[in-house]
Structure 1
């Protein structure tokens, strides 16, 4: 009986880890899709991955794209864009991204995403620091 209870506990624990891993993979897919939209210069597609609160601040795709071009140049144009550590807590995911910008400088981005009512994940923010700088 104890073995059966232990087995059930392990199955539940591993299934929740798997669900979180699936959520992180989904969130990474959203970030990657937005990154590719930036690369194509597709403002509408890039904007579609922004959470409602971000869309309130930047009420049109061209306004959003201009903000990214001017304030997040390493996100907008880069040589490399690699996922680092992630953390999942409830309906929120934090994802680190290591970026090498167009000039060869290293940056660290922290994306935050939140699961929406329809089950999709949308990007709620992105913090950007040159690699090696203190927070």
Structure 2
């Protein structure tokens, strides 16, 4: 008897694959500088989502996601449940340090150094896209950061 992965796991896998493709595309594309206002908007989107996680405000956190991510996840409660389980260091960071965002071919990445409650350092790499006048998060990949916090 074979078991199928739960739907939430399948969605998470799809999001991680999407995020990896976005990040790989950014690595090979031509960099373009962001304006100070764009950098601020990118940072505010990530900060807003982190603040929504801290307040357990699933709807607000979900509002920072791109339409594709929202469609893939289905609803705010599923999204928050996934973040709690798969990204505890982002869900409840002890501290965060924003690095300078980078733009390539209309896609933006925002690296954030995150320290979890146990003192482990992580690098959260957010992909963002502009939707109208707002920046929306298209994915996040988190890896352990062996370097010192900035």
Fold in common (TM above 0.5): yes
Structure 2 match to 1:79: 94
Larger radius of gyration: 1
- The 8 Å contact of residues 83 and 98 in structure 1, kept in 2 or not, is answered as yes
Superposition RMSD in Å: 1.7
Q: Which residue of 2 aligns with 1:103?
A: 118
TM-score for the superposition, normalised by structure 2: 0.73
Structure 2 stretches lacking a partner, 5+ long: 1-31
TM-score (normalised: structure 1): 0.80
- How many residue pairs get aligned? The number is 116
Of Structure 1 and Structure 2, the greater strand share is in 1
Q: Is residue 41 of structure 1 aligned with residue 56 of structure 2?
A: yes
The answer for unaligned runs of 5 or more in structure 1 is 1-15
Measured after TM superposition, the shift of residue 77 of structure 1 is 0.6
How far apart in 2 are the matches of 1:51 and 1:73? Answer: 21
1:17-53: per-residue Cα shift (whole Å, max 9, x none)? 5x62211110100100000000000000000000011
